[in-house]
Structure 1
Amino acid sequence: MPPDAFGDRAARAEELGYDSVWMSETQHDPFVGLTAAALRTERVAVRTGLAVVFARNPMTTAMLANDLQLVSKGRFALGIGSQLQTHITKRFSMPWSKPAPRMREYILALRAIWKCFATDGRIRFRGEFYRHTVMSPFFNPGPNPYGEPPILVAGVGPMMTQLAGELADGFLGHIISTRRLLEEVTIPALRQAREGAGKSMEGFELHATPIVATGTNEDELRAAIRQAKESIAYYASIPSYAPVLELHGLGDLKDELYRLAGTGRTGEIVDAIDDHVLETFAIVGEPKEAAAKIWERFGGLATSIAFFQSGDLPPDALQPLHEELRHLAQRPPA
């Protein structure tokens, strides 16, 4: 969605009572879109979900995040992820290395740069991947009255998940996350990392970002389901996501998708996603039904739920889902 249109949509989402708006780095720069959103709103949180940080050096990201924190008056959160090696090296033409160690150093560099802005303007950050050792007053924006933006790290594997628990302010669940994955893999890894760092889970944010295929009529729902299957097929055919499939007893599907991916027959890859696989990794149904399924999957686990929407429904069309989900969240525990 173009940045100006995203600003309009964010303004309407705020009017309808949404708590946050998120923009991913896909066809447009999320920092530009969220700037438009921040300028059109006063209350909702604005968050990258996610920004591909290995496509940028830490200083660039730190400046962008600092400015968005200013523009939004403290409503910004920096959601970051590594992306895949092919995209980093062949789309962005940037170096690649083991993602977890590089991400660790990236986060440390961000915090060092923000500290430089907030204090005396001196920086002496030297790492294996990044070095930031010069900052003159002319280029230093100075202290941010709203403080540093929270850092939210996206991940699937145990190393990135543990890194998020140790160093970040929150974790971004992958769009194919399930309740089982969160309960058996993600949350234990986060808790272990927090305890190892001498921290508790209190105040740590866990954001669920499920694929939601919904619509106000059969045609919209059918189109959304097709897009949801395309998203699942894309991630399920990538080797690094194999443990997620295997956890759900879908190892045979993994092998079949790898075979089809090698032939380039994209349509057959999508057709391999049957209704069982679709319902395992996506939320499907008319808006109120989808809300109940979202709450069943993530209620009591996630601190917030952001829809990765299949289709392009405006906030008004999603309002029944939003209202029902808020109603479910406000019910007293059984």
Structure 2
Amino acid sequence: MPDGPRLKIDGGIPNQLTRAAEAAGALEQQGYDGGWTPETSHDPFLPLLLAAEHTSRLEVGTNIAVAFARNPMIVANIGWDLQAYSKGRFILGLGTQIQPHIEKRFSMPWSHPARRMREFVSAMHAIWDAWRDGSKLRFEGDFYTHKIMTPMFTPEPQPYPKPKVFIAAVGEVMTEMCGEVADGHLGHPMVSKRYITDVTTPALLRGLQSAGRQRSDVEVSAEVLVATGETDAELQTATAAVRKQIAFYGSTPAYRKVLELHGWGDLHEELNRLSKEGEWDAMASLIDDEMLTTFAVVGSVGEVGAALRRRCEGVVDRVLPIFMTASQPCITVAMKEFRQ
């Protein structure tokens, strides 16, 4: 894994429009490399316009935007505009979501997620190439077809490269595909350091090799849960919150393989059963200290930053720490330790 470039540190940008500009400006002022918006209760793209307007250096991106809720033409157009407005600082982070949400929340088709995502990215590149080079748009795939592009619908040229495309992946098939076509890999908080080294990295390298690409052609980003506090009481509160979050993720079938890697496959069954009964506190009590430190960085505000760096350095290229319940002054102190 990487041994040259320094480990980048990213932060979150709220997807509420009233908060995005101030938060992005604060990240840049504090020395962060990137800021990400999620797609939850608000659109993930609109806040990035404000983030780009109020920063000059910070990379801004979606982590993630739901690809299958949209089509390649719509996303290509948004990505082109945000790349131009940010002067080349936009990262398009895409994820699949899960089948029930795609079909029942977004009313969109679901099938063959890895193949569909590969085609989605390829279609966007074909559209961007047509806009950039003036080449004829003729993309015909199994899921998407784009064959009409007239001058009226072609955006103005821009001096920046095509947006970087990052893909969220946990499973080996999606991760391998990411290595073939993406500029970056977006990890998930419910992924351990061992899972990255034993599962994610080999799959990514297989994809890179099959596409004739190098490890330096893709950035690997990790999200890491962090529990810290300036007092014992604050640390205890944060630790309890992290246990609950790990229990929630562990109850989801998508992360069973992560637990199985550590010999905790049976825990998923129990967590899943309790989640259906709404026993959230009982679920958290099943996350012992070994599981806690496998999936999270835990410690005092003076030590947690260095611990986070040790966990990620040489394993991934950039990290997005998720501080549970910590105050902003506490996070600031921890990040100073991260950089030392």
Structure-1-length-normalised TM-score: 0.91
| More off after superposition, 219-228 vs 150-159 | 219-228
The equivalent position to 2:299 in structure 1, one of 270, 285, 289, is 285
Which has the bigger relative contact order, CA under 8 A and spacing at least 6? 2
Matched, 1:103 2:117: yes
1:323 matched to 2:333? The reply is no
1:173 corresponding residue in structure 2? 187
- TM-align CA RMSD: 1.8
Once the two structures are TM-superposed, the CA of residue 143 in structure 1 deviates from its matched residue by: 2.5
Which amino acid letter does the alignment assign opposite residue 161 of structure 1? T
- Contact (CA 8 Å) 2:190, 2:255: kept in 1 or not? no
The 2-side partners of 1:246 and 1:204 are apart by 27
Partner-residue secondary structure (3-state), 1:83: coil
Query: Does the aligned pair in 2 maintain the 1:68–1:76 contact within 8 Å?
Result: yes
2: CA distance, partners of 1:216 / 1:35:
35
Alignment of 1:84-123 (within 5 A): 84-120=98-134, 122-123=136-137
Alignment deviations for residues 215-234 of structure 1 (CA, whole Å, 9 cap, x no partner): 33445434433432333222
Q: 1:144 to 1:312 in 2, by over 3 A?
A: farther
* 1:121/1:287 CA distance change after superposition, 3 Å: farther
Question: Hey, what's the Cα distance between the residues in 1 that align with 2:250 and 2:273?
Answer: 12
Are the aligned partners of 1:38 and 1:71 in contact in 2 as well (CA < 8 Å)? yes
Q: Distance in 2 between matches of 1:219 and 1:32?
A: 38
* 8 Å Cα contact 1:14/1:43 also seen in 2: yes
Counterpart check, 1:74 vs 2:63: no
Aligned length: 326
Distance of 1:55 and 1:92 partners within structure 2: 6
In terms of mean alpha carbon deviation, does 250-259 or 273-282 score higher?
273-282
Q: Which residue pairs with 2:6 in the alignment?
A: none
Q: Structure 1, residues 122-167: CA drift from partner, whole Å, max 9, x if none?
A: 3111111111122221121133321201111111100010011111
For residues 244 and 318 of structure 1, do their structure 2 counterparts lie closer, same or farther at Cα, with a shift above 3 Å needed? Answer: same
Q: Which runs of no fewer than 5 residues in structure 1 stay unpaired?
A: 328-334
User: Partner residue of 1:155?
Assistant: 169
Check conservation: 1:171, 1:207, Cα contact below 8 A.
yes
Any gaps of 5 or more consecutive residues in structure 2?
Answer: 1-13
Aligned position for 2:160: 146
The normalised TM-score by structure 2 is 0.90
Q: Which moved more, 1:217-226 or 1:191-200?
A: 217-226
Q: CA 1:274–1:70 in 2, change beyond 3 Å: closer, same or farther?
A: same
| 1:185 counterpart residue number | 199
**Identity over aligned pairs, percent:** 43
Secondary structure at the aligned position of 1:308 is classed as strand
> 2:178 aligned to 164, 167, 172, which one?
164
Q: Deviation at 1:121?
A: 6.0
1:215–1:89 CA distance, 2 compared to 1 (3 A): farther
Q: What is the aligned partner in structure 2 of residue 210 from structure 1?
A: 224
Q: Is the 8 A contact 2:229 2:326 kept in 1?
A: no
C-alpha distance in 1, partners of 2:326/2:67? 26
User: Aligned partner of 2:58: which letter?
Assistant: V
Q: State whether residues 121 and 135 of structure 1, in contact with CA within 8 Å, keep that contact through their aligned partners in structure 2.
A: no
SS in 1 for 2:216: coil
Runs of 4+ in 1 over 6 A off after TM superposition: none
Instruction: Give the secondary-structure state (helix, strand or coil) at the position aligned to 1:47.
Output: strand
8 Å Cα contact 1:104/1:163 also seen in 2? yes
Distance 1:86 1:219 in 2: 39
